[in-house]
C-alpha cells in the first residue's frame, strides 16, 4: 500500500477495493485501517472505475450512520433556496437537496467530470430538473452565481488549498447565507480517514472565521461520527 497523497479533493487515498465490495454490515462494524478513507477515490482522478467509487459513496448502509435525511431536515431549507453541494460525488446529498428546494437550484460541484456526468444522468432519470453541474478546481468552487447555502460533507480535508478555497467560496455566498461543514471527529471510528488526515474542529472554525464566516450553531446529536457545523456569512454593516 503506497503512501497517501491528497490532490485537491480528488479522492486519492490508498484505499483497498475491499471497501467497495465488502458486505454492507462491515460499513458499521469494521475497524478503520490505514488505507480506509471514506470519501476518497481508491486511486487518482484518472482511475477509470469511478462508478465503483460512486457505488461506495451511495451504498445504502451508509445511511445508518450518515443519517442524510435528518441532516437535510435540520437545515430547514426553503423551496426557493439555492444550495451548492461541494464535492457532490455521486449525488448522495445532491438529489436530496433537489427534492427540498423544488423552486430553487442545487449546484453539484465537483472536480471530477465523470462524477458530474453521473449526476446529470441520474437527475434526468429521477426527473429532477433543478440540478446544475459545476466543474471546480482545488482552490475555487467556481459557482456561476451567489447561493444562499453551501454544503461540504467529508470534503474539506481533501482540499489542497482550503483557506483559499473558503475565501473564494465566501464570495459566492450571499450576505446572511450559510455554510455547512460535516467532517469526521478525531479518534478511531468504524469509517473515515486516519486522524492524520482529519481536520480538528477548532481548526475548521478558525479557517471558516478567516474566510469571513461566523459559527452559528452546531448539531452534535445528528451524526455520531462527524461534526456538523453551520456557519453564517454576516450581513454588511451599514456605513462600512
Same domain as 103, residue 28: no
Same domain assignment for residues 115 and 215: yes
Would you say 212 and 233 are in contact if contact means Cβ atoms under 8 Å apart?
A: yes
Query: Do 40 and 76 sit in the same domain of this protein?
Result: no
Residue 185, domain member (yes or no): yes
Q: Are 179 and 60 in contact (CB under 8 A)?
A: no
Residue 44 belongs to a domain = yes
Q: What is the pLDDT along the chain (240 residues), one digit of tens a residue?
A: 333 334 333 333 323 222 333 333 223 223 333 333 333 333 333 444 767 777 767 677 788 889 999 999 999 999 999 999 999 999 999 999 999 999 999 999 999 999 999 999 999 999 999 999 999 999 999 999 999 999 999 999 989 899 999 999 999 999 999 999 999 999 999 888 899 999 999 999 999 999 999 999 999 888 999 999 999 999 874 444
Count of domains forming the chain: 2
Range of the domain at 70: 62-232
Query: Does residue 177 lie within any of the structural domains?
Result: yes
* Chain centroid offset of residue 152 CA: 3
CB atoms within 10 A of CB 79: 9
**SS3 for 97?**
helix
CA–CA gap between residue 82 and residue 104 (Å, rounded):
5
pLDDT at residue 17, as a whole number: 28
CA–CA dist 32, 139 (Å, integer): 29
Do 14 and 6 form a contact (C-beta atoms < 8 A)? no
Q: In the block, which residue shows the cell 427534492?
A: 99
- The answer on 155 and 47 residing in a single domain is no
Measured distance CA(196)–CA(36) in Å, rounded:
12
Please enumerate in sequence order all residues whose Cβ is within 8 A of that of 191, keeping only pairs 6 or more positions apart, or say none: 27, 28, 32, 36, 38, 65, 225
239 located within any domain:
no
Q: Which of 33, 60, 87 is the last residue of a domain?
A: 60
Residues 161 and 205 in one domain: yes
Instruction: Based on the fold, state whether residues 164 and 185 are members of the same structural domain.
Output: yes
Closest by CA to 172, choosing from 233, 87, 117, 238, is 233
Question: Is 91 among the domain residues?
Answer: yes
Residue 2 located in a structural domain? no
- Per-residue confidence (pLDDT) for residue 221, from 0 to 100: 84
In the chain, what is the straight-line distance between the N-terminal and C-terminal CA atoms, in Å?
54
Q: Are residues 123 and 227 in the same domain?
A: yes
Last residue of a domain, one of 34, 60, 86: 60
**Are the beta carbons of 150 and 83 closer than 8 angstroms?**
yes
Are 56 and 67 in the same domain? no
Residues 75 and 54 in one domain: no
Quote the CA–CA distance of 133 and 187 in Å, as a whole number: 34
Q: Name the grid cell of 5.
A: 497523497
Q: How many residues does the chain have?
A: 240
Residue 113 lies in a domain: yes
Residue 127 lies in a domain: yes
> Domain holding 219: CATH number?
3.40.50.150
In this structure, the answer to whether residues 171 and 88 fall within a common structural domain is yes
- Residues 99 and 141 reside in one and the same domain: yes
Q: Which of 37, 43, 16 is closest to 198 using CA atoms?
A: 37
> What pLDDT does 37 receive?
38
- Looking at the structure, do residues 166 and 183 belong to the same domain, yes or no? yes
Amino acid at each position: 500500500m503506497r503512501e497517501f497523497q491528497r490532490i485537491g479533493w480528488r479522492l486519492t487515498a490508498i484505499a483497498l477495493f475491499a471497501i467497495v465490495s465488502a458486505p454492507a454490515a462491515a460499513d458499521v462494524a469494521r475497524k478503520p485501517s490505514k488505507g480506509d478513507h471514506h470519501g476518497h477515490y481508491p486511486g487518482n482522478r484518472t482511475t477509470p472505475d469511478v462508478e465503483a467509487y460512486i457505488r461506495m459513496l451511495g451504498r445504502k448502509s451508509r445511511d445508518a450512520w450518515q443519517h442524510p435525511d435528518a441532516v437535510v431536515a435540520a437545515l430547514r431549507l426553503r423551496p426557493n433556496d439555492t444550495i451548492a453541494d461541494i464535492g457532490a460525488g455521486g449525488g448522495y446529498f445532491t438529489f436530496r437537496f433537489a427534492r427540498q428546494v423544488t423552486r430553487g437550484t442545487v449546484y453539484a460541484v465537483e472536480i471530477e467530470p465523470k462524477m458530474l456526468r453521473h449526476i446529470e444522468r441520474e437527475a434526468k432519470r429521477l426527473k429532477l430538473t433543478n440540478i446544475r453541474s459545476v466543474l471546480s478546481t482545488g482552490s475555487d468552487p467556481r459557482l456561476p452565481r451567489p447561493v444562499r447555502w453551501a454544503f461540504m460533507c467529508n470534503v474539506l480535508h481533501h482540499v489542497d488549498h482550503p483557506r483559499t478555497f473558503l475565501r473564494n467560496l465566501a464570495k459566492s455566498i450571499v450576505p446572511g447565507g450559510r455554510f455547512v461543514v460535516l467532517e469526521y471527529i478525531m479518534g478511531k471510528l468504524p469509517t473515515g480517514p486516519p486522524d492524520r488526515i482529519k481536520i480538528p474542529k477548532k481548526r475548521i472554525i478558525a479557517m471558516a472565521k478567516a474566510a469571513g464566516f461566523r459559527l452559528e450553531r452546531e448539531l452534535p446529536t445528528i451524526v455520531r461520527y462527524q461534526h456538523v457545523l453551520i456557519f453564517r456569512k454576516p450581513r454588511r454593516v451599514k456605513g462600512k
